[in-house]
Amino acid sequence: MAATQNFADIRAQFPILNQQENGHPLVYLDNGATSQKPQMVIDALARYYRQENANVHRGVYGLSERATEKYEGAREKVRQFINAASTKEVVFVRGTTEAINLVAQSWARENLKEGDEIIVTEMEHHSNIVPWQLLRDQLGIRLNVLRMNNQGEICLGALQGMVSEKTKLVAATHMSNALGTINPVKEMTEIAHSVGAKMLVDGAQACAHMAIDVADIGCDFYALSGHKMYGPTGIGVLYAKETLLEAMPPYQGGGDMIYSVTFEKTEYNVLPYKFEAGTPNISGAIGLGAAIDFLTAIGMEQVAGFEHELLAYATESLSRIDGLQIIGQAKNKGGVISFIIEGVHPHDMATLMDQDGIAVRASHHCAMPVMQHFNVPATVRASLGVYNNKADIDRLVSAIEEAKDMLL
Ligand SMILES: *Cc1c(COP(=O)(O)O)cnc(C)c1O
């Protein structure tokens, strides 16, 4: 009971949820695309620009020192949140997409050669496919796909059978944004390491929904996006093991990533600054730090437990709708429900639901190979966050029923 009370209070911290959409109270169920921001994150951003703004790592004056302290404080919060060994392993980037491109163009470009192989799963977001295709075309490497079954699950035995001494990297999502599947990334890491390959985990979706422990997973790279975990857009994190970062060439050149420059030679800055060229997204990092404070105050175990219960309720409620088919029924699944309704185009469904104030997404969810697997052009996706509740699900269900009546 205490937990229920608790989560009602949490919802009240999100001012955007107090507004109406098309004359109805907003029900926001597009957390897979981006999350809403709690007051404390909005306050942290406003406070920064009102009282703390200065460039970091440069000034000797108080304001700049305070901005630097806040920025580096946010890095320490990220370190604790993902259980990295050191803040040297926490590189601020724009988001998951940039983190993966950084690994592709720095680590992989330096270490892979023609004939080497990278394995991705069939359920990857385009951000964990296209950077490897670009690299494939640059280096002549191979990109192999670990297929999933019709529940939307991969098979560890199949991965075991695919890896060889040619495999240099396994890149997989921790949680699928299109299906909700939670992958066994720790076991996948062990398989990758058994042949000397590295493991990259795309944590863009997982970071808002479960405790993340990179030391326990054992992965070499972990990518996440601030905006999916109640933080601002334009900030994300690449975690990488220190030894790997030390050996990797810079991704971009410019200010902050150098120690000294002459026209003959440039010496690079120490970690993690070697990978943070240019003035960083200071306010974004501070906002992400506030989002981490928000999540850790609830506790990630509690977040996962709450959403698990809500997912079960939603799955049961939606399953009762005639003609509705849930796409993605993995045993280990986070708060994402993708579905189709016989005879109804997903876009028409989502458009009608918007009329009822319900924000869901109808698309391929940047995972077109997933749509190809299930032989559908798109799905409607309801994705949960900490502020959703059973009343939201009930409104979702009646809106679907109403839309069905109109469209069929
Ligand atoms: C959102 C998402 C991405 C891309 O994140 P950006 O913040 O757009 O860079 C990558 N992978 C998954 C699984 C996602 O959900």
The whole-angstrom distance between residue 97's C-alpha and the CA centroid of its chain comes to 9
At 58, the amino acid letter reads R
Ligand 1, atom 3, residue with closest C-alpha: 204
**Nearest atom (ligand 1) to Cα of 236:** 7
The rounded distance, in Å, linking the Cα atoms of 27 and 205 is 20
Using CA positions, which residue lies closest to atom 2 of ligand 1?
A: 204
Architecture field, domain 43-296: 3-Layer(aba) Sandwich (3.40)
Distance of alpha carbon 33 from the chain centroid? 9
Query: How do the pLDDT tens digits run along the chain, 408 residues long?
Result: 345 558 889 999 999 999 999 999 999 999 999 999 999 999 999 999 999 999 998 888 999 999 999 999 999 999 999 999 999 999 999 999 999 999 999 999 999 999 999 999 999 999 999 999 999 999 999 999 999 999 999 999 999 999 999 999 999 999 999 999 999 999 999 999 999 999 999 999 999 999 999 999 999 999 999 999 999 999 999 999 999 999 999 999 998 898 999 999 999 999 999 999 999 999 999 999 999 999 999 999 999 999 999 999 999 999 999 999 999 999 999 999 999 999 999 999 999 999 999 999 999 999 999 999 999 999 999 999 999 999 999 999 999 999 999 998
Give the pairing of strands 236-240 and 221-225: antiparallel
In CATH, what class is 7-30+299-407? Answer: alpha beta
Name the residue ranges covered by the structural domains of the chain. Answer: 7-30+299-407, 43-296
Closest by CA to 68, choosing from 53, 89, 84, is 53
Tokens of 42: 């909005």
DSSP secondary structure string, 360-390?
-EEE-TT-HHHHHHHT-S-EEEEE--TT--H
How much distance in Å is there from the Cα of 98 to the middle of ligand 1?
10
User: In angstroms, what is the span from residue 64 Cα to ligand 1's centroid?
Assistant: 32
Query: Which residue's structure tokens are 């809106």?
Result: 399
- Which atom of ligand 1 approaches the CA of 173 most closely? 13
Around ligand 1, the residues with Cβ closer than 6 Å are 95-97, 125, 127-128, 173, 177, 202, 204-205, 225, 228
Measured in angstroms, how far is the CA atom of residue 205 from the centroid of ligand 1? Answer: 7
How many angstroms does the Cα of residue 325 sit away from the middle of ligand 1?
A: 25
| Residue with CA nearest ligand 1 atom 8 | 97
CA-based nearest residue to 406, from 337, 353, 339: 353
Quote the ligand 1 centre to 408 CA distance (angstroms): 34
Residues that are catalytic: 366
Pocket test of ligand 1: the residue of 120, 126, 127, 228 to mutate, having most ligand atoms within 8 Å of its CB, is: 127
Query: CA geometry: angle at 276 spanning 275 and 279, to 5°?
Result: 165
Q: Which of 175, 202, 370 to mutate to test the pocket of ligand 1 (most atoms within 8 A of CB)?
A: 202
Atom of ligand 1 nearest to the CA of 97: 9
